[in-house]
Structure 1
Amino acid sequence: MERRTFLKAASAAGISVVGFNPLAALAANTSLRIATWVPPTHHQTAVTLPRWIDAISKASDGSLKLTIDPAPIAPPPEQYNIIRAGAADIAYHVAAYTPGPFEVARGIEMPFMSPSAEVGSMATVDWYERNIGFDAEFKDVKVLTIFVHGPGVLHSKEPIHTLEDFQNVKVRVGGGGVRMAEALGAAPVAMPASQAYESLQKGVADAAMFPWEAIKGFRLYELVDNHLEIPGGLYTTFFAVIMNRGKWDALPDEHKQVLTEFGGLKGAQIFGKGWDDADVAGKKTATDNGHTISVLSEEEQPKWAEKVAFVEDDWVKLANERGYDGAALLEDLKATVKKYNS
């Protein structure tokens, strides 16, 4: 189904759920807690999650209530563990923070792969559910949906336009970006997103890999004023919206139906669009503050691509080792991204 056609159908489906789901109205009230780890001003807690929560509330006629924890109960890498343990009901977890079990799912994170959060998120759900299945790698939790953030941009204190400019630059990266930064000649400093501001402020890092939203969401505009966009993104990050298995099993069927309806593709579209909107706001913040924004030149793109080609090769090898046809999966992923980007 073409993306535009799907979105119209998804909108219509949302109206259908609200208008023609009398069973949800009869279900007993259920309250679920959502753990978070970003600041309260971040779009995820201030805009996107509330938008998702509101859609779920309306679809259940108010009987399914989701609330966001007022403060983090664990650091970002621990989100998967707190859901497994039942310390929270729902969380969004960065797969790269738990190395090992989710490596096939992280195929979307490869360089130059995802042109926007909405496209990348919907394409990943389509591709992953069709080829692998949510339960294959996420055995200990219930996956409601998966999404990615916007294309990874290089933000720096000094201008970076070429590979030569990037040599030995101390750059903040997430868990999955260390080898890629090293291959490009930089000096990676791995840390959760929430620590990036302090690292730039104290000179531990002089640059950071982030989507545009971080410029506003983490106030990085105060510390960096040069930005290099890479077509398709230098990377993206795979998030899984996960739920405690026991809590899921205990839900009435009507509430499982609502969460399923607003998970999957529709959930990915909501979270992806929320991130794209935040990227627009982040880029505007940079522009409003007089920052310099550049795009990696056509001359430079093949040089960078050659340095990070091992990312695709390694992922194909890993997928093969786990019993999949890695090359076929990669080809299908690229085709699925292209479909949603058309």
Structure 2
Amino acid sequence: MHSSLKVLVVGSAISLLSAATVAAAEYNFKLHHFLGATSPSHTETIEPWARAVEAASGGKVSIEIFPSMSLGGRPPELVGQARDGVVDIIWTVNGYTPGVFPRTEVFELPFVHTNNPGATNLAMAELFDAELRDEYKGLEVMFLHVHGGNGLHTVDTPVHAPADVKGLKIRTPSRTGAWTIEALGASAAAMPVPALPQALATKAVDAAFVPWEIIPALKLQQQTKYQIEGADGVRFGTLVFQMSMNHERWSGLPDDVRQAFRAASDEKWLAHLGDVWAQTDTKGIAMAVEAGNTHIVLDQTQTDAFETALKPVIERWVEEANSAGIDGADLLSKAKAAIAKHGQ
């Protein structure tokens, strides 16, 4: 058989098998997200989780993934799409809908999350029912997680002290990120991460707070010269992501199907996810260094200077939480304690 014909036959067989799997499933779901199908988030988080749910369901569940907002809309609309039942499941950044998840924001604050995504994942799971669930009305959260943390990527500015950041225009996806930038005397530019490469290339922004893991997918080593982080991998805050289902859809599922979703979203998965994101960060920074970029790791004194400069961010969050009827200091204390416990 000619090789091209073999490829065609095999490809057709795989397509038919996939279609047959969907047809055989009793419960079919559409999962919508904003990143591309080759991004680490898709290949290392979203896809493995969906396949784990399907396996745990014994074939009752099929999850079809739609990356790159291919079902329409913009990234900030994903939470609304899930709440309204436009799609069944979404994976998104909480900060794309600012002010909607104020309790969960505590985990994004600089020097609350430092450098251990697994510990922060498990801390959020521990506090979810008692402290966070109320702000997810209309959604059934499968799991929350963070990335490795925000490193600072600059187009052409080396940074060793808070004063080096002053006056820069810096991309952020969240309001806590914007507060961090403002506290450093810089100006914040809000945008979803897919828009970042062009913004850096045209110097619409001078820098960005994003983790190292996204470097390969967005080719950030081509638009930046410097990657900066604190001592021992300390980062300048992080982002919370959610995998959530429309609550009405969830309510209509039988117990065994619900259990399949829960089994794929347990503590073992959250710890594994922390390791995955830490490893992809390592690969990302290695790519930047190999391309000739400078990886600046601040010493402890320099890192402490950033912590001092960013204390107003934490104070601002506590004050805003209190004004919204949330005991900000208490939740902050609980979040730090839970992260410390799971980081041991």
- TM-score, normalised via structure 1 length: 0.86
Report matched runs for 1:198-209 at 5 Å: 198-209=198-209
Report matched runs for 1:110-259 at 5 Å: 110-114=109-113, 115-129=115-129, 131-134=130-133, 136-158=134-156, 159-176=158-175, 177-230=177-230, 231-259=233-261
Whether the 8 Å contact between 1:121 and 1:268 is mirrored in structure 2 is yes
Distance (whole Å) between structure 2 residues aligned to residue 71 and residue 38 of structure 1: 5
Distance (whole Å) between structure 2 residues aligned to residue 198 and residue 35 of structure 1: 24
User: Are residues 1:78 and 2:80 paired?
Assistant: no
Distance (whole Å) between structure 2 residues aligned to residue 74 and residue 224 of structure 1: 29
Q: Identity across aligned pairs (percent)?
A: 30
Distance (whole Å) between structure 1 residues aligned to residue 41 and residue 140 of structure 2: 20
Distance (whole Å) between structure 2 residues aligned to residue 309 and residue 67 of structure 1: 43
Residue 190 of structure 2 aligns to which amino acid in structure 1?
A
Residue 289 of structure 2 aligns to which amino acid in structure 1?
T
Residue 150 of structure 2 aligns to which amino acid in structure 1?
G
Report matched runs for 1:1-342 at 5 Å: 29-72=26-69, 73-114=72-113, 115-129=115-129, 131-134=130-133, 136-158=134-156, 159-176=158-175, 177-230=177-230, 231-342=233-344
Distance (whole Å) between structure 2 residues aligned to residue 273 and residue 247 of structure 1: 31
Distance (whole Å) between structure 1 residues aligned to residue 199 and residue 25 of structure 2: 47
Q: Tell which structure's C-alpha radius of gyration is larger.
A: 2
Give 1:327 deviation, angstroms.
2.0
Whether the 8 Å contact between 1:144 and 1:264 is mirrored in structure 2 is no
Change (3 A) 1:220 1:313: same
Cα offsets for 1:89-118 (capped at 9, x unmatched)? 111222222222310111010102221222
Give 1:320 deviation, angstroms.
3.2
Distance (whole Å) between structure 1 residues aligned to residue 306 and residue 266 of structure 2: 33
Task: For structure 2, list consecutive stretches of 5 or more residues without a partner in the other structure.
Answer: 1-23
Task: For structure 1, list consecutive stretches of 5 or more residues without a partner in the other structure.
Answer: 1-26
Deviates more, 1:175-184 or 1:148-157: 175-184
- Structure 2 residue matching 1:299: 3-state secondary structure: helix
Aligned to 2:3: none
Give 1:168 deviation, angstroms.
0.9
Distance (whole Å) between structure 1 residues aligned to residue 249 and residue 268 of structure 2: 22
Residue 152 of structure 2 aligns to which amino acid in structure 1?
L
Whether the 8 Å contact between 2:321 and 2:327 is mirrored in structure 1 is yes
Give 1:325 deviation, angstroms.
3.3
Give 1:298 deviation, angstroms.
2.1
Whether the 8 Å contact between 2:40 and 2:214 is mirrored in structure 1 is no
Give the total of aligned pairs: 314
Change (3 A) 1:264 1:98: farther
- Structure 2 residue matching 1:146: 3-state secondary structure: strand
Cα offsets for 1:305-325 (capped at 9, x unmatched)? 222212222222333344443
Residue 137 of structure 1 aligns to which amino acid in structure 2?
E
Cα offsets for 1:135-169 (capped at 9, x unmatched)? x1111211111111112100112211122321212
Distance (whole Å) between structure 2 residues aligned to residue 70 and residue 106 of structure 1: 25
Whether the 8 Å contact between 2:56 and 2:264 is mirrored in structure 1 is no
Residue 54 of structure 1 aligns to which amino acid in structure 2?
R
Whether the 8 Å contact between 2:82 and 2:88 is mirrored in structure 1 is yes
Give 1:285 deviation, angstroms.
0.9
Root-mean-square deviation (CA), in Å? 1.9
Give 1:225 deviation, angstroms.
2.2
- Structure 1 residue matching 2:301: 3-state secondary structure: coil
Whether the 8 Å contact between 1:43 and 1:274 is mirrored in structure 2 is no
Whether the 8 Å contact between 2:154 and 2:206 is mirrored in structure 1 is yes
